[in-house]
Structure formats: structure tokens, C-alpha cells
Structure 1
């Protein structure tokens, strides 16, 4: 049970916690990493939608997250896993208020100002983080006809990318229903795990710091779209690690330079011959807001599901 003094201290920390405003930190090339990424467990089936959509398949990849991170304390040097994890069913007493205070203190300190891209020591100290991403597409690629959509999903806080799969299957049913003859077909779907959640959390567990900047989630989405989302007709990658693609430096500068707004109609806003629709829930909605406001020319449209948005 907390004391009145501790409650007052926590309230003061909550009031001082700020979200980032203003231009996003530019994107740099990913940083070479010496650490061995852990092996992710395989899916039980390559058919992500089961009998509802048997013609679709799933492929999983790993891509670097945005570098550098915007807030100090976002990463730490690798820490070894505990030699003897707690036994299943065992109870460990945790000071919840103390842990919460530590988290808030780290967040408040991290958001006093953005990391400077001129701070060589900070950039040298930061670890490269990674994203786990899923690609969903028909086993047989569609030929000819209308240009299809590429959907990019971002999940809510505490969830993971696979949480979207029932929604994806229902959405495909609706878009391809005979009553919707004008609907554009869906060529591909991508879903991303936030750096500290889902499979990404497993990949980054040993180097995650105590600070998390929501703006970096938007930068992670942009880094994926700009540097790793290839033309849909390009050859398939033979590796689970997608190769980086060439991109214009003005795009990597994000909104620190003047932005290209793109075409007037959604279908005219193409990126590498894709019509990209960003879909984000809560934290993912906030990430999509950061991404689309910094680089509006990349997205044909954005769908927000109960988004958590900062002040503009």
C-alpha cells in the first residue's frame, strides 16, 4: 500500500511526463549489430486465416527498427538472461508503486528533449533494435486488372501483430464480396510488432531500455515502408531478413525538410507501385498519425481505430 507522499510524487511525475511534438528525428541507416538475435518460435500453420481464407499464406521477416531512437534510455547494452528463471506458479513479491515510479522517472527524463543527431556519443551508445513483421498474400498472385491495395497494420499497446488476423480475414471477405464490385482488391497485407512487444520484444529483450517514445513507433513504420517495403512485383526474398532498399534522402529526413504531399486522390498516391493503406489501433493509431503526418505522400489513406493521439 502506498503512502500519501508516494502518491503525491507519482502524480507529480505524471504531470511532468510529456509527449514529443515537432519534427521527427531523421532516419539513419541501420547500425551494424554484433548480437545474435534469438530464434523466434515457428507458427503452427502457414495458413493464417484457416479455412475462412485457405488461399492466403503467411511469411515472417525481421527488419531493423528506426535508428537512432528519439529518447535517451531507449536502449541499453545487452544484458544476459537470468541463469535460473522463476519456477512456474511461484510467487514473487513486487513493489508495484516502486516499479511504476522507476518507469515514470525514466520516461520524464527521456522526454526532456530529443536525441541530437550531432551527439556522436549517444549514437555510438545506442543499440540497434529490430521489428518482427508478417506478410500475408494470396498463394497465387493476381494478374492484370485493377491495381490492388497494400494494407499495413499496427497493433495496440499490450497486443501483437497476429491480433489483427481475424479482422484481416473478415475484411477480405467484405472487400471481395459480389456486393462490392467497386472495391479494390488486396494484393498484400503487412503487420508489424512494436519494438517492445510481441516477437519484436523477444528480439530486443536484452537491449531494451526504460524509455519508450511513441514518436519512434511512427518512425519505425516509416523506416519499414521507406527502406524495406519493395515493389510488389519484385522477386521474393530468400532470407527472413529483408534487404534495405535505396531511398531518397529527403524522405529519410522525414518532416525536418519540406514534405511532398502526393496526389490529390488516394489512388494516385503510390509508393513503389503500391497503394498503401495504414491501419492502426490505439498505440498503432498514434504511430500511424506520426508516420502519415511526417510523410503523407507514402499513404493513400489512413484508418484509425480508437487512436491515442498527441497534441499536434
Structure 2
């Protein structure tokens, strides 16, 4: 099939994952470092400002992890030659996939588990209400194990705050 005139990429080749062997859960420990990193930028204006007061917080993630601290391969070397750069990117990608496959097969189990301090960034939204309203609030905690962008959640909260957005989208 010729994709030379197609505006999209062809589907990837089928990839069969190697078998995965579940790891034994270990007790969660506190973070090794008590000082979280600073936020990279100041507070920004949100689409939710009319309905919510937001604050951003950095919190520690669970320690230790089931994966070991493994050195990552070097980043692809940029080259003006398209084929050289593509080959460098492929080499880096294949190395990362190889490390992940070794982890899935249990070949890295002899290495110590990852103990580096890691942090995640969360946004807290508090609904603005009038002084006459004495209702108690509900806390929604949005988290995703793979780093789902917290900015995408703003759109969900905006839809909850303004139901007309939900009906106009359908």
C-alpha cells in the first residue's frame, strides 16, 4: 500500500508484548528527601477562575518502586542528515524497549529497586461560593499513574461547573 500521498502515518507493525511476571508488593516508605523541588513557573490564569480557586502542590510519590534505577541510553544525536537522525532515534527507542522487555521478563530483578526521590505536581480546586451558601464541599482528587496531564482536568471541571457545555457538545 502506498502512503506517500497520505496525510497520516501508516499503522505501526504489530508488536507482541513478552509475558509479564507480577512483582511482589513491598511496603511503602516515606520519601528520602523532605524538600520538594520548586514549581517551574508561577500561577497562571485558568479557564476555571470564575468558578474555582486553584492552588498547585508538589507531593512525594510512593517509594520504593518495583522498577530498578537503570541508566537511560543517550539521547539521539541530532544530524542534518535525515536518515542518520532517524537511525539515531531508532537506536535510542530500541534500547528503551529492550530495557522495558528485560524488566517484564524479570531479568532486572537482581538490581535494587528504585529509591530516587520522585515528586508529582497536583492542582487543588476549591469551588467559589457566595457568603449566603453554607454548604460543605467535596474534594475531587485526580491522579493518573502514568502522568496524565493535570491541565486536561481543568476542562473536566469546567464541564461540571457549567452543564450547558455538556449539552451543547452533543
TM-score bin (small chain): 0.5 to 0.7
TM-score (norm 1): 0.35
Could you say what secondary structure the match of 1:15 adopts? coil
Measure the CA separation in 2 of the matches of 1:90 and 1:141.
62
Q: Relative CO higher for 1 or 2, CA cutoff 8 Å, sep ≥ 6? A: 2
Measure the CA separation in 1 of the matches of 2:58 and 2:94.
35
| 1:130-141 mapped onto 2 (5 Å cutoff) | 130-139=119-128
Measure the CA separation in 2 of the matches of 1:158 and 1:29.
20
Cα shift at 1:99: 3.7
TM-score (norm 2): 0.58
**Is 1:102 matched up with 2:99?**
yes
Could you say what secondary structure the match of 2:28 adopts? coil
Cα shift at 1:33: 6.0
Unaligned runs of 5+ in 1: 1-6, 116-121, 175-312
Alpha-carbon distance change, 160 to 19 in structure 1, aligned in 2, over 3 angstroms? farther
Larger Rg: 2
Could you say what secondary structure the match of 1:152 adopts? coil
**Is 1:151 matched up with 2:147?**
no
Moved over 6 A (4+): none
RMSD between aligned residues: 4.2
Measure the CA separation in 2 of the matches of 1:111 and 1:161.
32
Match of 1:126 among 107, 115, 137: 115
Could you say what secondary structure the match of 1:132 adopts? strand
Cα shift at 1:172: 2.6
| 1:1-312 mapped onto 2 (5 Å cutoff) | 11=16, 14-20=17-23, 24-32=25-33, 37=37, 39-45=39-45, 47-49=46-48, 54-69=50-65, 71-73=66-68, 75=69, 92-93=85-86, 94-95=89-90, 96-109=93-106, 122=112, 126-139=115-128, 144-145=134-135, 147-155=136-144, 157=146, 159-174=148-163
User: Between Structure 1 and Structure 2, how many residues are aligned?
Assistant: 141
Q: Is the 8 A contact 1:155 1:164 kept in 2?
A: no
**Higher normalized helix content (fraction of residues):** 1
